[in-house]
Structure 1
Amino acid sequence: MVTFINRFTVTGPAEEFERLFDDTSAFFRDRPGFISHRLLRHTEQPGSYVNVAEWENAESFRAAVTHPDFAPHATALRTLSTSESNLYASVLERTATH
């Protein structure tokens, strides 16, 4: 499993960004290898968001973001935000024991 982390700085209306991201989420949901994602909004900086997505493997993620149907989603999000993204492999995971 790999984790994709994308930090967004929203420069347009937050509501519109969240709506566009929801559309993008629906696109990814149907792609092979997609497991889950969460869109998080910073509690003290309303224009800061983080997307944390889990994929079965890097190849599935790359296939999704290079799929021709993804381009309109990326373009729409870029009109309202800038982003910095990276793909990560899990090294350590721990859960609460209580």
Structure 2
Amino acid sequence: MSFTVINTFTLLDPAGAAEFEARFLAHVEWMRAQPGFSAHQAVRSSDRPEVYVNLGWWERPEDFQKVLASATFQEHAEEFHTIVSVEADPSMGVVRFDGVAGEPGDVLFVDFFAVEGDQDAFVAAYRAHAQAAAALDGFVTADLAKSLFARPGGFTALTRWRTAEAALAATGLPEYAALAALAEVRTVPAAPVAGDRAELAQAGA
């Protein structure tokens, strides 16, 4: 599974969305050219439009560390900090599911899980839920990543759907009830901003 960098950006001024998105897209174009970069998916919270979440997938942690130490990255980071606050959560992918190939959906959810008990049991429960959800008409993809140190017991999931109705149906599955019993969850409905998680398959990640 891929090394996954999860960043949550919060606008310091809600009126700065256009400036942030322009700078972010320029930054991503530079990142795409760096060795080890696989794909990314940036989303904007539907409930709190001042909040953005980006998941970046890398072949190895070492690849990202080299980029992080570069002068260009540090320059970009300094610019970002003038318009957003940033919460970084380096993670490792543990579950990935793809639905039947077809038109990509624009209904996305980011789930932040906090697990106090058996993390292996939680991962197994998420895998069972994702497998059941993948059988639903309207499912596109699901990814689960485990926080390496920023959030002890923390996991982040990104799911993509063709319809909100399909996403709602997934929460009614018995596998979801079993999953929810093992962790506290904060769900962020979101809209896509940039990137395509499907590039992971093209990269063989």
Partner Cα separation in structure 2 for residue 27 and residue 65 of structure 1: 12
The higher radius of gyration belongs to 2
| Secondary structure of the structure 1 residue equivalent to 2:94 | coil
Q: Percent identity?
A: 32
Contact persistence 1:2–1:54 (CA under 8 A): yes
Instruction: Tell me what 1:8 maps to.
Output: 9
Instruction: Tell me what 2:36 maps to.
Output: 33
Instruction: Tell me what 2:196 maps to.
Output: none
Q: TM-score, normalised by structure 2?
A: 0.46
Instruction: Tell me what 1:51 maps to.
Output: 54
Question: What amino acid maps onto 2:91 in structure 1?
Answer: Y
Contact persistence 1:27–1:70 (CA under 8 A): no
Partner Cα separation in structure 2 for residue 77 and residue 19 of structure 1: 11
| Secondary structure of the structure 1 residue equivalent to 2:96 | coil
| Secondary structure of the structure 2 residue equivalent to 1:44 | coil
Count of aligned pairs: 98
Paired residue for 2:91, among 63, 88, 91? 88
Q: TM-score, normalised by structure 1?
A: 0.93
| Structure with higher RCO (Cα < 8 A, 6+ apart) | 1
Unaligned runs of 5+ in 1: none
Question: What amino acid maps onto 1:9 in structure 2?
Answer: T
Question: What amino acid maps onto 1:3 in structure 2?
Answer: T
Question: What amino acid maps onto 2:38 in structure 1?
Answer: I
